[in-house]
Amino acid sequence: MNRRINRRTMLQGTGGALLALPYLNAMAAPVATADAPIRMACVGLNFGFVPRLFFPEGTGRNYKLSARLEPLKTLREEFTVFSGLDHGGEGQGGHGGVHAYLSGILSRNSKGMPEANISIDQKAAQLVGTQTRYPSLELASGNDPNNMICWSRSGVSLPPVTQVETIYNRLFQKVDPRMRNTMQARLAARASILDLVKTDADYLKRNVGQHDRDKLERYFTSVREVEKRLTQASQWLDQPKPTVEYQLPTGANDSNFVDRVPLYYDLMTLALQTDSTRVITLALADIGANYGGFKISRGYHQLTHHGKVPEYITELSIIEQFHMTQLARFLEQLKEVQEPNGKTLLDNSMVLFGSGMGNASSHSNKNLPLILAGGGFRHGEHKSCFKDEAKKKATPAGNLFVSMLQRFGLETDRFGLATTTLTGLEVQG
């Protein structure tokens, strides 16, 4: 018999615990290893690009750079641009489908999946574990619910850090020794709450229906994941944070979008270089107030619904070209950093750049604009992955993710609904 549970129900345990229900090389010290690990950075734009201005003419190595790819011309041999990749029916939903960018599975369709709609960054972070201070970093320019691109194996979206000053402090601010014991006590108090409420939790699960038991199990799994992160944070309390000469400008948190985005990329470079983490995501969403500092006269979202009006596309191009210029700058930064294994940080870092939106003007999630740079792959091509060019039948983007995960070090031949790697994407010898 199923009992009705009051929505205000709290789980209570011993001790009164309660749980409510649902740059430059000189900027940083080098990684202190004989070799250098593979890293992964994924950048997602919630509105994508105008397709005809993004995708290049021709395929293979002799393709012609499109207007959007022009800022990357000096890096041509460092990246591959893809067409014909998307998430099929599992990723459709207009703006509501963008969150499947790194998972390939809509949240509402994740029930019954072995790891729900886990995103590629969180799958990679499982391999990293406690090797770095942060198994992964989730960053974003704002809290746009349509651009929550990071998902745990329990199907829960991971809230990103949006304030650049907070990101900097987490990476490099030294812990006051006088506060160390206080912080340790706080982490310990929060790290075992499910153990404290175990009796109530077990009783609750026995007295609800199967649907609610499944929901509770996913919820408790997500709480356990948080507890693991708290435990890891406790273990790293006594490890000094890296020293960097980089300083954020005054008032960085309040700066316009155009001034703030380069700071995210700077901090990503430093985080990877200092081995503070090996997995980073950056979700770039709405540009915010004052038109983000761009010289435009309409809102970003309004411009994406351009209806092929030239004036709209001209202003939209200002924003899109800015994003490509910042990507080029980020890749150049990674390329300038020399690693202990004789390669560059770009050689040792896979950078995925793109969107879960194929064409915002028509709310299409098909034919996603995707670029993969670095990571030791053979680049310099435009790869058309359409299975049927005439019918524009796409290849699962998950195949690309399987290739990336294997390169990262995971022994797997599947991710989400994908069961193979991407044909033709090879690692350099």
Q: What integer pLDDT is reported at residue 234 of this predicted model?
A: 63
Q: What integer pLDDT is reported at residue 72 of this predicted model?
A: 98
Whether the pLDDT of residue 230 is over 80: the answer is no
Neighbours of 32 (CB within 10 A): 9
DSSP 173: P
Neighbours of 248 (CB within 10 A): 16
The residue type of 196 is L
Give the chain's mean pLDDT: 87
Whether the pLDDT of residue 5 is over 60: the answer is no
* Cα→Cα distances 16→160, 223, 324, 415, Å: 30, 18, 52, 41
Which residues make beta-bridge pairs with 43?
A: 282, 353
Average pLDDT for 125-133: 92
**CA–CA separation, 137 and 350 (whole Å):** 15
Neighbours of 266 (CB within 10 A): 21
Q: What integer pLDDT is reported at residue 182 of this predicted model?
A: 65
Whether the pLDDT of residue 3 is over 80: the answer is no
Instruction: Convert the pLDDT of each residue in 7-41 to its tens digit.
Output: 445 555 555 555 555 545 445 544 444 489 999 99
Q: How confident is the model at residue 262 (pLDDT cuts 50, 70, 90)?
A: very high
Secondary structure (3-state) at 44: strand
Which pTM value belongs to this model? 0.84
Burial of 332 (0-12, 13-18, 19+ CB in 10 A): middle
Q: How confident is the model at residue 297 (pLDDT cuts 50, 70, 90)?
A: very high
Of 199, 293, 270, 252, which Cα lies nearest the Cα of 23? 270
Per the CB < 8 A criterion, the answer to whether 285 and 140 are in contact is yes
Instruction: Convert the pLDDT of each residue in 208-226 to its tens digit.
Output: 787 787 667 667 666 666 6
Instruction: Convert the pLDDT of each residue in 62-94 to its tens digit.
Output: 999 999 999 999 999 999 999 999 999 888 999
Whether the pLDDT of residue 1 is over 50: the answer is no
Average pLDDT for 132-142: 94
CATH code linked to domain 23-174+252-408: 3.40.720.10
**CA–CA separation, 137 and 115 (whole Å):** 20
Of 348, 368, 349, which Cα lies nearest the Cα of 358? 368
Average pLDDT for 356-376: 97
Q: What integer pLDDT is reported at residue 183 of this predicted model?
A: 58
Q: Which of 1-10, 48-57, 162-171, 219-228 has the lowest mean pLDDT?
A: 1-10
**CA–CA separation, 4 and 352 (whole Å):** 46
Average pLDDT for 283-297: 94
For residue 313, the number of C-alpha atoms closer than 13 Å in the C-beta half-sphere is 14
Per the CB < 8 A criterion, the answer to whether 358 and 368 are in contact is yes
Proportion of the chain above pLDDT 90, given as a percent: 69
Average pLDDT for 359-368: 96
- Structural domain boundaries in the chain: 23-174+252-408, 176-239
Whether the pLDDT of residue 113 is over 60: the answer is yes
Proportion of the chain above pLDDT 70, given as a percent: 80
